[in-house]
Chains A and B, each alone.
Chain A
Amino acid sequence: MNKASIVVIGAGISGLSSAYNLAKKGIKDIVVIDKAYITSGSTGRCGAGVRQQWGTKLNCILAKKSIDFFAHAKEDLGYEKDIEFKQEGYLILSTSKEEDEEFDKNVKIQNSIGIPSKKLSVEEALKIVPHLNPKSFTSASFCKTDGHVNPFLMSEAYYLAARKLGVKFYFFEEVKEIVVVNNKIQKVITDKQVILTDKVVNAAGSFAREVGEMAGVEIPVFSENHEILVTEPTRELQGPMVMSFSKNIYCQQVPHGSFLMGRSNPNALHNHDISSSWQFLDEMSKTVCHFLPEVGKLRVIRTWGGSYNLSPDHQPFISDTETLPGYFMACGYSGHGFMFAPITGELISGMVLGEKLDDYAKDLNIKRLIDNKFTDFEKSVV
């Protein structure tokens, strides 16, 4: 029977970052299991944006620490290819007085921890994205160090670095059971093998709730489909991600030249559906043509869907489990697991090793909800 000091379930960005950080800190016999391959779930379907402009201090801290890592990730991980880190900012549009006031508050929180965001007038925003419809917004907030990272290549960078440090990967293998006896994890059973272990990291993304149930751990998250589309590549046209929470859009030109854009469906069901709908295509086209008429001239070449794994307060659980020692989770990112991956790995590895963590980490614990202590609620989400 195989043995592991810890089994990480899920080879998306959270699992990969956790495995890498654990290995870097000297842990041996780490196993990562995925029912398909790296980035086969939500990571490989995400919008590829990385931002620090959040409404809760907790999300701001996680984002800033992660961006700081992306800046030297290639060197740290010894990756041969380019992770396509582009820092041309996020321009977030406000469309009402209420939203404008909300952004004032947000920018204050962001600045308080050193995120260089600021409010912009319509004229100032137009200098950064000249093809914006000037009548479509009333003001904006901008952070020049936000931007883009390629999710596939960033994941591969973590994967190769983890493999080099001795982490073992099992792909196309599905975890079926986590055996717990007398409140102790005993083994993980997949459709191909049994692995003896006393520690598990639930990095199952969209399936976090199910992987919680396998060990009798209740995790209050659910998944819903979020659709995206991509256009043909074109000349360099737009530096920053353009976003509006109130009008439900994010739209960025990636270094490759294509535009990625998405919006949420307020009627999305809580399930694992990731299909494409014509309604999305219709609404997305109308929304983008309203804000960015120039982008409307581009051809759509593909639409797809991916799961958001939503927590009740739109902030993640990066947490141990009081009721089950050895059970750790990184889930409930509410659509932002990719951009928080670097700090996720650092925190998970710290928790596993029993390190003393920074004070903010206690708010990532799943207890914040069980104790009914809502820390904060993140509204800055598309």
Chain B
Amino acid sequence: MSKKDIIICRCEDVTLEDVHKCLEQGYTTFEEIKRILRVGMGPCQGQTCSQLIQKEIAKYLGKNVEDVKTQKTRPLVTGVKLQDIADSEDE
């Protein structure tokens, strides 16, 4: 299968070829690749792509996958409507 047809990030439609190009340009951490390709910025926040990209980085750098840094996670865990948050009351 061509690298162009392998989708790594479904939220942002990023292919394996895109990821490999980034690695070859010298962007070899998830955070750098994220800023260029938007992987991990979509609605799933990297739930699918982060491990796939970690593996690609490991392969490229000849490292063990557990030695490749994972991306920073931030709230929210799942998408919530702004209106629902605005309406919610603790009391």
Residues of A within 8 A of B (CB): 36-40, 44, 152-153, 156, 230-233, 256, 276, 278, 281-282, 284-286, 288-289, 293, 295-304
A300: B residues at CB distance < 8 A: 76, 79-82, 85
B32: A residues at CB distance < 8 A: 37-38
Considering the complex, give the chain B residue whose CB is closest to the CB of A151.
Answer: B35
Considering the complex, give the chain A residue whose CB is closest to the CB of B38.
Answer: A256
Q: How far is the CB of A76 from chain B (nearest CB, A)?
A: 20
Binds A, one of B1-9, B41-49, B54-62: B41-49
**Interface presence of B29 (CB below 8 A):** yes
Considering the complex, give the chain A residue whose CB is closest to the CB of B72.
Answer: A304
Contact assessment for B81 and A40 in the assembled complex, using a CB-CB cutoff below 8 Å: no
Q: What number of residue pairs across chains A and B have CB atoms under 8 A from each other?
A: 75
**20 A–B contact pairs at CB < 8 A?**
A44-B35, A152-B35, A156-B36, A232-B43, A233-B42, A281-B85, A284-B82, A285-B85, A286-B86, A288-B82, A289-B83, A293-B83, A297-B81, A297-B83, A299-B43, A299-B81, A300-B79, A300-B80, A301-B79, A303-B76
Which B49-91 residues sit within 8 Å CB-CB of chain A?
A: 74-76, 79-83, 85-86
Contact assessment for A152 and B83 in the assembled complex, using a CB-CB cutoff below 8 Å: no
**Interface presence of B17 (CB below 8 A):** no
Considering the complex, give the chain A residue whose CB is closest to the CB of B76.
Answer: A300
Q: How far is the CB of A70 from chain B (nearest CB, A)?
A: 19
Contact assessment for A301 and B86 in the assembled complex, using a CB-CB cutoff below 8 Å: no
With A286-B86, A303-B74 as given contacts, are A152 and B79 in contact (CB-CB < 8 Å)?
no
Contact assessment for A289 and B36 in the assembled complex, using a CB-CB cutoff below 8 Å: no
- Rounded to whole angstroms, the CA-CA distance of A267 and B41 in the bound complex is 29
B42: A residues at CB distance < 8 A: 233, 301
Contact assessment for A285 and B86 in the assembled complex, using a CB-CB cutoff below 8 Å: yes
Contact assessment for B41 and A37 in the assembled complex, using a CB-CB cutoff below 8 Å: no
Contact assessment for A301 and B35 in the assembled complex, using a CB-CB cutoff below 8 Å: no
Q: How far is the CB of A86 from chain B (nearest CB, A)?
A: 16
A288: B residues at CB distance < 8 A: 82, 86
- Rounded to whole angstroms, the CA-CA distance of A243 and B55 in the bound complex is 42
Q: How far is the CB of B8 from chain A (nearest CB, A)?
A: 18
Contact assessment for B75 and A299 in the assembled complex, using a CB-CB cutoff below 8 Å: no
Contact assessment for A299 and B35 in the assembled complex, using a CB-CB cutoff below 8 Å: no
B76: A residues at CB distance < 8 A: 281, 300-303
B36: A residues at CB distance < 8 A: 152-153, 156
- Rounded to whole angstroms, the CA-CA distance of A38 and B85 in the bound complex is 34
- Rounded to whole angstroms, the CA-CA distance of A44 and B36 in the bound complex is 11
A286: B residues at CB distance < 8 A: 86
Considering the complex, give the chain B residue whose CB is closest to the CB of A163.
Answer: B26
B80: A residues at CB distance < 8 A: 299-300
Contact assessment for A301 and B45 in the assembled complex, using a CB-CB cutoff below 8 Å: yes
Contact assessment for A302 and B83 in the assembled complex, using a CB-CB cutoff below 8 Å: no
Q: How far is the CB of A155 from chain B (nearest CB, A)?
A: 8
A37: B residues at CB distance < 8 A: 27, 29, 31-32
- Rounded to whole angstroms, the CA-CA distance of A298 and B41 in the bound complex is 16
Contact assessment for B81 and A301 in the assembled complex, using a CB-CB cutoff below 8 Å: no
Known pairs A231-B82, A297-B82 / 19 extra A-B pairs, C-beta < 8 Å: A38-B32, A39-B35, A152-B35, A281-B85, A284-B82, A285-B82, A286-B86, A296-B83, A297-B83, A299-B43, A299-B80, A299-B82, A300-B76, A300-B80, A301-B43, A301-B79, A302-B75, A302-B76, A303-B76
- Rounded to whole angstroms, the CA-CA distance of A297 and B84 in the bound complex is 8
Q: How far is the CB of A13 from chain B (nearest CB, A)?
A: 12
Q: How far is the CB of B70 from chain A (nearest CB, A)?
A: 15
Closest 6 A-B residue pairs measured CB to CB?
A299-B79, A296-B83, A285-B85, A285-B86, A152-B35, A289-B86
Contact assessment for B82 and A276 in the assembled complex, using a CB-CB cutoff below 8 Å: no
Q: How far is the CB of A132 from chain B (nearest CB, A)?
A: 15
Considering the complex, give the chain B residue whose CB is closest to the CB of A290.
Answer: B86
Q: How far is the CB of A194 from chain B (nearest CB, A)?
A: 24
Q: How far is the CB of B39 from chain A (nearest CB, A)?
A: 12
- Rounded to whole angstroms, the CA-CA distance of A40 and B27 in the bound complex is 12
B27: A residues at CB distance < 8 A: 37
Q: How far is the CB of A227 from chain B (nearest CB, A)?
A: 10
- Rounded to whole angstroms, the CA-CA distance of A295 and B83 in the bound complex is 8
Partner of A282, one of B38, B41, B85: B85
A302: B residues at CB distance < 8 A: 41, 45, 74-76
Q: How far is the CB of B68 from chain A (nearest CB, A)?
A: 14
